[in-house]
């Protein structure tokens, strides 16, 4: 139970930071004594980008400079976590909180001084990473270092005094032009800059996601309905848990201010949906029609979840026999993958990955189809199967060599399966029609369906 | 042509080189140089020496260059305040630029330069920008007020910026509104007392309108601000909820969680009968579940919040158990959180699934996770009684795996299961004993030792097992040592003949060879107990232990309510109120949930009611912190709390005395058990307590007295026996005293009739009591106003209290009285009925009753027959209630009525009673349990008397 102090009590509060061994470096203690500005109520104070080997390769401060030494607490946690994925996203230090995300082998570590909504920070950090991806084609240390000035300008534009300013890529691109080889050549000849000098049109309109004056010679609107199956299948092949995470990604290249309506054959399937801000919620509530003025370019229109309460069809089955013999340094491995009812569509791009137990030295297997690799260092077995033909089911079997003398592994590995099914939305979701208002021209329209495995795990 | 070239300048003379370039005439070269400076800055290099040169580049119409210089300024202005002044002019000029982008940029940057001298110049441009025609500039200026306030709060107030900011809440542009709200919230946070965000229905309406139109980040600010509003009634709360609900479908998870916070808070005000309440509950589940399909970091924060929500309103997610199932490649921090929530959601309906999952997890690779999974199985067993058996067999399966940490963890939880379901699963002890050797963690060793000690009578070789631990006694951790000591004492009490040597060995190890005060202390207590009164020792050491509660890690309800108000914040991640950890929180306001209003207001008390009700429904369980006795002597498997050194040394000094027997009485009173074990009861009276072995012969006089009576007692207040003669005239020179005792509304009185049967007038009356068992004493002098003439009687009611000196009398209710008059002093003794000592607050709580009943050893139970009583159960209970015997529960078992009753004596002794009434049988059976069993006889007398009159 927590003991709470009475009002006006000045006793040192038992902060969670007490859990962390204090290692106050000189700079940190400087900060602490700098009492005057210490109590500033900032959202995100500073940002550090750190690579996997622990180098801080970029820092940005929206306020006073926070010493890099604050990251020592992060490194400590990282060391403790062993795996990079396991670093806790919220870490407390004597004077700050570190909220971090891990994306594309980079840690985005933000420094927070006071109570903030952590989700706000995490969402923002992901948005930063998305923006880098969008601008540079990849979000990597090299890309960021190569474009450090643009990165700096972007960060400045995205956050003011801890308040997010512009995070929509449309607006950002009007403020700061993305780098292209052509532009840098032109810039260096003409001396012009890659910073826009007018106020982005969308910034303050009621539709901040779309800029005015968009013009295309070919007007096109494409929608990709992508569904991922998350499932856990138990030893006996029955489904422990399954759900579908679906998204509709759109690529809209339409001139002017088009107003679109997208309707479905079976909108009832969508009971748990997250919308892009452009969608008129009222219209969806009353008519189950997605009505919106789209952003220009690529964006995610909706994401949805079809929960386990509804029946989720599992498109593949796996027969497996993995066993380790007691007191012998070997084991058997035998896995077959087969298709289930898939409305006549082929399952392709099948890849199975297995984290074998530590005691496994090597694997001697034969695949009837595709090829397999086993990395004796990471103990990861990867079997690239390809397409499944129902007539001849792919099978992988053989001998597992164990470290001699090591005890029989306790745990049986889970099989991680990836696959793809083209032209099928496994939930049965179907687009009915797309109508456009507000503009005269006739656009090309297209809808593509694809089903993939998300976190699809088979326990053995 | 990438920026990485900016890093490649030669190390030597780098600054010098840059300086030259910055002062170059060529624009392009200048820009490149500033870029190099910025690049150095990004990796934390100190380039502040270049300050004047960079500032010189500020005067330019190239926006990119301007921005770069601004970036530099923000970083270094603080270290060069004098130089920073140079930039002021340009800023002021830029604030008037025709391009709104430049105006906004200038005011934004100025706010970031935390130099006092600059702030003075900032006021005028800021004032203009707050009223700028362009909303982009206004919204930037709004944030700038917050920045300025942070630097110089007084200045902001003096300049009236706060009022301007408040006006911006009504701005036509939603982005401006959102930023104004954000700025005001930030300022308000540092001034909790100032009524900055004075929210009223009008401004709320504006916020709700802006909510629909502003950006996602603005929505978060507005929602967080709404959450601080207190709607005036349930109608308003509902209408706000309706307008906030669409935010649950937002793609930004922070928006979703902020909306959840508003809804969770305002829901408090909605009546549960409302259809809308149910709708809202249903709407909350999907967005919460959706958060779990996001990136792992988001999942983590979401899970921490869901943990709170599930405790507050379990109904929201009760059908969503499966989404919390763990995937093997989830990060560990997500796994652990999911597991926690799974247990909270576990119920009879889904326990099979949950157990199957947990068993699966227990074979995973990650040690922390496996441990927690095993522990979770134990928690399931304790939480869902129907599953206990399955849980135990699952745990046994896991023990068979022989994986060391799994076995240890399993043993720790099995110990808890034994405590929760005593005498049910002891058959597994044999299997546990097989694993004795593999235990190397203190907690598991201690748990195993506890099990061996507790069930010593069923384990043939218990002595051997414990002896094997004893060999390395001094190398064990305190936890194990304490447990070993207790276990061996238990063993000795159960099998005294074979284990005498063992117990002596452990006692000497604990008391003589140990440096640990806790251990020594406990050793001495046991030693003393065993040497003075083995029977008492048995009662203490082998006392029945209170049950453990099912969920020990629930957040305390008031804290939970406060945390619900902080959903989505750091507080919700740490499960602590912000006041507990936010640095420099200047008097953080404690937030609380709004009270429920509307129709159901009178029907149910808000908030605390559900949890209290829940507790009442499961009376068999008392909270873990209640098991005083368990903690005191038996069961401290938790980390030992070492006492303050001072206390330790005093014990050491007292030890000699203790052994010598000088403190015999002290220990005795402990054996009687009241103060330490009574759970609230105990002897309130000072002085030596009642010896435990005291007999209680029937007071024959009293018995006769009651047999005589036939009259009807007073209906209100306690039963009052008719007066009887206490002092016959022939023994007191003509003074006859008859009297009785009564208790009315909390006060005891002695009703006397004095009759003068002598031939002379009597006067100067006075009365005095000898010391007695309950400290009865006159509360006022005996007042006989006029002299008593021959053959005259006077009725006097003498008020009594119980604060007199205490001495154990035989019989217990004996009272020796001295009465004096002008003739002589006379002595007599009388027996008072015990029920005059039954106090008005003698009604025990149900839970307390159950726990106390179990807690009092069976030897203390006394059974009596009340014959020839033909009252119905209800009549009995109302009759007894009149005399402060309270019926706590009534049960009908196989046609018999069972009444469970409690009463409390003036000195704080509790007596618990079970009265069995068979419909056709005029003989009632009364079982009494009390820590001081000697009172039972008299309590029975009181029962008998009250019921028969």
Mean pLDDT of B910-914: 86
In angstroms, rounded to a whole number, what is the distance separating the alpha carbons of residues B410 and B684? 44
Distance CA(B737)–CA(B723), nearest Å, equals 10
Strands (E), A209-296: 220-233, 239-253, 259-264, 273-275, 289-292
What is the model's pTM? 0.66
Is A14–B293 a contact, with Cβ atoms under 8 angstroms apart? no
A-proximal residues of B, 694-753, CB under 8 Å: none
Residues B60-109 pLDDT 10s: 777 778 888 888 888 777 777 777 777 788 888 888 888 888 888 888 88
Tokens of B762: 């009597």
d(CA B16, CA B315): 69
- Please report which confidence band the pLDDT of residue B54 belongs to, taking 50, 70 and 90 as the band edges: confident
* Predicted confidence (pLDDT) at residue B659 exceeds the cutoff of 80: no
pLDDT band at A419 (very low <50, low <70, confident <90, very high): very high
Q: Count CB neighbours of B920 within 10 A.
A: 5
pLDDT, residue B605, reads: 39
Going by pLDDT thresholds of 50, 70 and 90, the confidence category of residue B364 is confident
d(CA B676, CA B671): 9
Total length of chain A: 460
Q: Is the pLDDT score of A177 beyond 90?
A: no
> What SS3 string covers B174-217?
HHHHHHHHHHHHHHHHHCCCCCCCCCCHHHHHHHHHHHHHCCHH
* Rounded average pLDDT over B178-205: 78
pLDDT for residue B625: 37
- Alpha-carbon gap: A391 to the closest alpha carbon of chain B (Å): 32
pLDDT in tens, B396-446: 888 888 888 888 899 988 888 888 887 788 788 888 888 888 888 888 889
Q: Round to whole Å and give the CA distance between B239 and B256.
A: 18
Q: What pLDDT shows up at residue B933? A: 81
Looking at the complex, does the CB of residue B579 fall below 8 Å from at least one CB of chain A? yes
- B571/A contact by beta carbon, under 8 A: yes
Cross-chain residue pair B254–A120, CB shorter than 8 Å? yes
**What's chain B's average pLDDT?**
78
Q: What is the mean pLDDT of residues B19-26?
A: 80
Mean pLDDT of B606-626: 38
The pLDDT value given to residue B646? 37
The mean-pLDDT minimum among A266-270, B154-158, B636-640, B762-766 falls in B636-640
Residue B314 has pLDDT above 60, yes or no: yes
Of the given ranges (A48-52, A188-192, B232-236, B616-620), which has the lowest mean pLDDT? B616-620
Q: Give the distance, in angstroms, between the CA of residue B869 and the centroid of all CA atoms in the same chain.
A: 46
User: Are B63 and A193 an interchain contact pair (Cβ–Cβ within 8 Å)?
Assistant: yes
Q: Which residue has tokens 């005259």?
A: B792
Q: Is A180 on the interface with B (CB under 8 A)?
A: no
Say which residue the tokens 């009703």 belong to.
B751
Confidence tier at B597 by pLDDT (50, 70, 90): low
The answer to whether residue B608 scores a pLDDT higher than 80 is no
Q: Looking at chain B from residue 439 to 458, which residues have their Cβ under 8 Å from any Cβ of chain A? A: none
pLDDT classification of B922: cutoffs 50, 70, 90: confident
For residue B656, pLDDT over 50 is answered with no
Mean pLDDT of B867-880: 81
Q: Which is higher by pLDDT, A7 or A437?
A: A437
Contact B360 A208 (CB under 8 A): no
CB B623 within 8 A of CB B549: yes
Q: Which of B72, B73, B208, B583 to mutate to test the interface with A (most CBs of A within 10 A)?
A: B583
Confidence bin at A396 (pLDDT 50/70/90)? very high
Cβ-based neighbours of B875, under 8 Å, separated by 6 or more: none
Instruction: For chain A, positions 265-304, list CB contacts with chain B under 8 A.
Output: 271-277, 281, 285, 300, 303
Its sign, for the CA torsion B152, B153, B157, B160, is positive
Q: What part of B 282-341 touches A (C-beta under 8 Å)?
A: 286-287, 289-290, 293, 295-298, 300-302, 319-320, 322-323, 325, 327-329, 331-333
Is the CB of residue B189 less than 8 Å away from at least one CB of chain A? yes
Residue predicted with more confidence, B682 or B901: B901
**Per-residue pLDDT tens digits for B467-522:** 888 888 888 888 889 999 999 998 888 888 888 888 888 888 888 888 888 888 89
Token pair, residue B66, equals 């301007």
CA B34 to chain centre: 59
pLDDT at B260: 94
If one compares A30 and B928, the residue with the highest pLDDT of the two is: B928
Question: CA B308, B309, B311: angle at the middle one, nearest 5?
Answer: 65
Among A107-111, A384-388, A396-400, B709-713, the least confident range: B709-713
**Which of B741 and B701 is assigned the larger pLDDT?**
B741
> Collapsing DSSP states into helix, strand and coil, what is residue B760?
coil
Q: Which residues are CB-contacts of B515 (< 8 A; sequence separation ≥ 6)? A: none
Nearest-Cα distance to chain B for A14, in Å, is 6
The nearest CA of chain B is from the CA of A145 a distance in Å of 6
Is B42's CB within 8 Å of A148's CB?
Answer: yes
Instruction: Give the distance from CA A230 to its chain's centroid.
Output: 15
Shortest distance between the Cα of A392 and any Cα of chain B, in A, equals: 30
Between CA A207 and CA B499 the distance in angstroms is 85
Q: What does the alpha-carbon distance between residue B289 and residue A194 come to, in Å, rounded to a whole number?
A: 42
Rounded to an integer, the average pLDDT of A225-251 is: 90
Q: What is the mean pLDDT of residues B525-536?
A: 86
Q: Do B813 and B702 touch, CB atoms closer than 8 A?
A: yes
Q: Mean pLDDT for chain A? A: 81
Cβ distance of B99 and A199 shorter than 8 Å: yes
Which residue has better confidence, A415 or A342? A415
Judge whether A118 is closer than 8 Å to chain B, CB to CB: yes
Q: What is the mean pLDDT of residues A285-297?
A: 90
Name the residue in chain B with its Cα closest to that of A181: B1
For the four alpha carbons of B620, B621, B626 and B629, in that order, the dihedral sign comes to positive
* Percent of chain A topping pLDDT 90: 29
Which residue in B64, B71, B329 is closest to A194 by CB distance?
B64
- How far, in Å, CA of B597 to CA of A254, rounded? 52
**Quick check: B240 pLDDT over 80?**
yes
Which percentage of chain B shows pLDDT scores above 70?
83
Query: Looking at residue B570, what is its pLDDT?
Result: 86
Please give the interface size between A and B, counted as residue pairs whose CB atoms are below 8 Å apart: 300
| Residue B304 pLDDT exceeds 90 | yes
Torsion on CA atoms A260, A265, A268, A272, rounded to nearest 10: -50
Mean pLDDT of B757-772: 83
Average pLDDT over residues A403-414: 78
Q: What is the mean pLDDT of residues B755-780?
A: 84
So what's the ipTM on this one? 0.76
Name the least confident of A9-18, B198-207, B906-915: A9-18
Q: Of the ranges A14-23, B129-138, B449-458, which one carries the lowest mean pLDDT score?
A: A14-23
Is the pLDDT assigned to residue B223 strictly greater than 60? Answer: yes
Of A145, A185, A204, the CB nearest to B173: A204
Q: What is the DSSP string of A160-197?
A: ETTEE----HHHHHHHBPPP-HHHHHHHHHH---SB--
Per-residue pLDDT, averaged over B691-700, amounts to 38
Q: Is A161 on the interface with B (CB under 8 A)?
A: yes
Q: Are A410 and B582 an interchain contact pair (Cβ–Cβ within 8 Å)? A: no
Do A149 and B364 count as a contact with CB atoms less than 8 A apart? no
Instruction: Name the more confident of B142 and B534.
Output: B142
Which range has the worst mean pLDDT, A81-85, B309-313, B470-474, B578-582? B578-582
**Chain B residues in contact with A152 (beta carbon < 8 A):** 38, 42, 71
Instruction: Give the up-direction half-sphere exposure of residue A39: CA atoms within 13 A in the CB hemisphere.
Output: 18
Greater confidence (B189 vs A295) lies with A295
Q: Is B741 helix (H, G, I), strand (E, B) or coil?
A: strand
Instruction: Quote the CA–CA distance of B898 and B925 in Å, as a whole number.
Output: 10
Residue B613 scores a pLDDT above 50: no
Tell me which of B324-338, B543-557, B886-900 is least confident: B543-557
Give the mean model confidence (pLDDT) for residues B912-927: 83
């Amino acid at each position: 139970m927590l003991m709470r102090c009475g009002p006006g009590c000045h006793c040192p509060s038992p902060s969670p930071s007490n859990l962390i061994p204090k290692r106050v470096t000189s700079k940190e203690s400087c900060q602490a004594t700098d009492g005057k500005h210490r109590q500033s109520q900032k959202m995100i104070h500073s940002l550090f980008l750190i690579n996997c080997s622990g180098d801080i390769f970029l820092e940005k401060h929206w306020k006073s400079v926070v010493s890099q030494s604050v990251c020592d607490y992060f490194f400590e946690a990282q060391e403790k976590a062993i795996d990079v994925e396991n670093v806790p996203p919220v870490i407390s230090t004597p004077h700050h909180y570190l909220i971090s995300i891990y994306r594309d082998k980079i840690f985005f570590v933000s420094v927070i001084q006071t109570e903030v909504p952590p989700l706000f920070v995490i969402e923002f950090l992901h948005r930063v990473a998305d923006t880098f991806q969008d601008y540079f084609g990849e979000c990597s240390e090299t890309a960021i270092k190569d474009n450090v000035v643009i990165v700096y300008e972007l960060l400045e534009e995205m956050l003011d005094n801890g308040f997010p300013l512009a995070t929509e890529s449309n607006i950002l691109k009007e403020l700061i032009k993305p780098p292209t080889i052509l532009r840098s050549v032109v810039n260096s000849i003409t001396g012009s800059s890659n910073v826009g000098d007018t106020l982005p049109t969308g910034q303050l309109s009621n539709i901040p996601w779309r800029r005015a004056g968009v013009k295309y010679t070919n007007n096109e609107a494409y929608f990709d309905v992508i569904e991922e199956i998350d499932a856990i299948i138990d030893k006996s092949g029955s489904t422990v848990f399954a759900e579908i995470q679906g998204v509709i990604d759109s690529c809209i290249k339409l001139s002017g201010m088009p107003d679109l309506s997208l309707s479905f054959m079976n909108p009832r399937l969508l009971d748990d949906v997250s919308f892009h801000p452009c969608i008129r919620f009222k219209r969806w509530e009353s008519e189950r029609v997605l009505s919106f003025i789209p952003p220009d370019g690529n964006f995610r229109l909706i994401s949805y979840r079809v929960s386990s309460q509804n029946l989720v069809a599992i498109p593949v089955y796996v027969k497996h026999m993995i066993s380790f013999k007691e007191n012998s340094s070997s084991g058997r491995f035998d896995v077959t993958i087969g298709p289930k009812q898939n409305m006549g569509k082929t399952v392709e791009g099948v890849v199975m990955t297995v984290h074998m137990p530590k005691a496994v030295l090597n694997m001697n297997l034969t695949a009837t189809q595709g090829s397999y690799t086993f990395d004796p260092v990471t103990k990861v077995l990867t079997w690239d199967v390809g397409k499944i033909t129902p007539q001849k089911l792919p099978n992988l079997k053989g001998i597992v060599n164990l470290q001699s003398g090591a005890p029989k592994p306790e745990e049986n590995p889970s099989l991680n399966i990836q696959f793809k099914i083209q032209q099928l939305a496994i939930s049965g979701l179907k687009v009915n029609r797309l109508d456009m208002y507000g503009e005269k021209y006739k656009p090309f329209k297209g809808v593509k369906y694809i089903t993939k495995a998300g976190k699809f795990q088979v326990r053995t | 042509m990438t920026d990485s070239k900016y890093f490649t300048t030669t190390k030597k003379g780098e600054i010098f080189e840059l300086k030259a370039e910055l002062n170059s005439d060529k624009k392009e070269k200048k820009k490149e140089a500033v870029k190099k400076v910025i690049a150095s800055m990004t990796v934390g290099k100190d380039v502040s020496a270049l300050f004047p040169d960079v500032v010189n580049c500020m005067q330019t119409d190239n926006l990119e260059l301007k921005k770069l210089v601004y970036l530099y300024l923000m970083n270094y202005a603080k270290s060069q305040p004098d130089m920073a002044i140079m930039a002021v002019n340009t800023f002021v000029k830029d604030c008037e630029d025709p391009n709104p982008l430049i105006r906004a940029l200038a005011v934004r940057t100025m706010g970031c330069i935390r130099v006092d001298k600059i702030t003075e110049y900032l006021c005028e441009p800021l004032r203009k920008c707050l009223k700028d025609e362009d909303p982009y500039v206004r919204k930037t200026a709004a944030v700038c007020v917050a920045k300025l306030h942070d630097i110089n709060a007084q200045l902001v107030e003096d300049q009236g910026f706060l009022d301007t900011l408040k006006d911006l809440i009504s701005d036509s542009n939603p982005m401006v509104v959102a930023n104004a709200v954000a700025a005001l919230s930030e300022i308000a946070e540092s001034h909790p007392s100032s009524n900055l965000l004075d929210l009223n229905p009008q401004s709320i309406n504006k916020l709700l309108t802006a909510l629909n139109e502003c950006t996602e980040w603005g929505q978060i600010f507005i929602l967080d601000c709404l959450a601080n509003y207190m709607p005036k009634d349930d109608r308003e709360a509902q209408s706000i909820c309706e307008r906030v609900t669409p935010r649950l479908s937002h793609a930004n998870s922070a928006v979703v969680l902020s909306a959840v916070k508003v809804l969770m808070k305002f829901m408090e005000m909605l009546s549960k009968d409302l259809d809308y309440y149910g709708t809202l509950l249903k709407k909350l589940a999907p967005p919460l579940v959706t958060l779990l399909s996001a990136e792992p970091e988001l999942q983590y924060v979401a899970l921490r919040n869901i943990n709170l929500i599930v405790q507050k309103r379990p109904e929201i997610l009760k059908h969503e158990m499966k989404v919390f199932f763990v995937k093997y490649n989830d990060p560990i921090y997500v796994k652990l959180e999911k597991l926690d929530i799974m247990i909270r959601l576990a119920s009879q309906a889904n326990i099979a699934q949950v157990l199957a999952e947990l068993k699966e997890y227990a074979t995973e690779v990650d040690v922390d996770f496996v441990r927690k999974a095993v522990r979770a199985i134990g928690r399931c067993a304790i939480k869902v009684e129907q599953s206990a058996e399955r849980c135990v067999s699952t745990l046994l399966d896991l023990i068979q795996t022989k994986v060391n940490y799994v076995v240890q963890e399993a043993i720790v939880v099995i110990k808890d299961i034994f405590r929760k379901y005593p005498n049910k699963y002891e058959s597994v002890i044999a299997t546990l004993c097989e694993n004795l050797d593999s235990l190397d963690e203190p907690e598991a060793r201690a748990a195993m030792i506890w099990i061996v000690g507790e069930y010593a009578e069923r384990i043939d070789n218990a002595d051997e097992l414990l002896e094997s631990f004893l060999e390395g006694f001094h190398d064990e951790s305190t936890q194990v040592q304490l447990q070993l000591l207790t276990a061996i004492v238990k063993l000795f009490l159960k099998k005294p003949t074979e284990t005498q040597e063992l117990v002596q060995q452990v006692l000497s190890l604990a008391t003589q060879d140990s440096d640990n005060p806790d251990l020594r202390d406990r050793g001495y207590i046991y030693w003393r107990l065993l040497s003075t009164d083995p029977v008492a020792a048995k009662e203490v050491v082998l006392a029945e232990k209170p049950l453990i509660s099912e969920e020990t890690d629930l957040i305390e309800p008031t804290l939970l309510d406060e945390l619900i108000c902080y959903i989505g914040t750091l507080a919700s991640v740490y499960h602590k109120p912000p006041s507990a950890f936010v640095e420099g929180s200047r008097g953080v306001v404690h937030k609380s949930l709004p009270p429920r209003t509307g129709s159901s207001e009178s029907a149910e008390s808000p908030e605390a009611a559900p949890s209290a009700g829940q507790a009442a429904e499961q009376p068999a369980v008392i909270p873990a912190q209640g098991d005083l006795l368990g903690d005191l002597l038996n069961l401290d498997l938790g980390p030992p709390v070492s006492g303050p050194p001072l206390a330790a040394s005093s014990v050491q000094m007292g030890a000699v005395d203790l052994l010598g027997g000088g403190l015999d009485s002290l220990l005795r009173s402990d054996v009687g058990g009241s103060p330490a074990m009574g759970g609230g009861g105990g002897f309130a009276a000072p002085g030596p307590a009642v010896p435990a072995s005291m007999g209680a012969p029937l007071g024959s006089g009293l018995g006769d007295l009651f047999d005589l009576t036939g009259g009807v007692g007073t209906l209100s207040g306690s039963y009052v026996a008719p007066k009887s003669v206490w002092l016959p005239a022939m023994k007191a020179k003509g003074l006859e005293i008859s009297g009785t005792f009564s208790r009315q509304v909390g006060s005891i009185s002695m009703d006397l009739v004095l009759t003068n049967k002598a031939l002379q007038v009597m006067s100067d009356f006075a009365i005095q009591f000898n010391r007695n068992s309950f400290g009865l004493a006159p509360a006022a002098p005996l007042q006989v106003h006029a002299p008593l003439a021959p053959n005259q009687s006077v009725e006097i009611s003498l008020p009594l209290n119980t604060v007199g000196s205490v001495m154990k009398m035989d019989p217990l209710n004996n009272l020796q009285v001295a009465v004096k008059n002008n003739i002589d002093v006379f002595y007599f003794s009388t027996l008072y009925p015990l029920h005059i000592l039954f106090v008005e607050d003698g009604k025990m709580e149900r839970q307390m009753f159950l726990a106390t009943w179990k807690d009092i050893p069976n030897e203390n139970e006394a059974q009596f027959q009340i014959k020839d009583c033909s009252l119905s159960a209800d009549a009995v209970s109302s009759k007894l209630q009149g005399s402060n015997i309270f019926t706590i529960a009534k049960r009908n078992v196989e046609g018999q009525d069972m009444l469970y009753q409690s009463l409390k004596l003036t000195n704080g002794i509790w007596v618990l009673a079970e009265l069995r009434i068979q419909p056709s049988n005029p003989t009632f059976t009364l079982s009494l349990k009390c820590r001081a069993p000697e009172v039972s006889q008299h309590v029975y007398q009181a029962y008998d008397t009250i019921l028969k009159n």
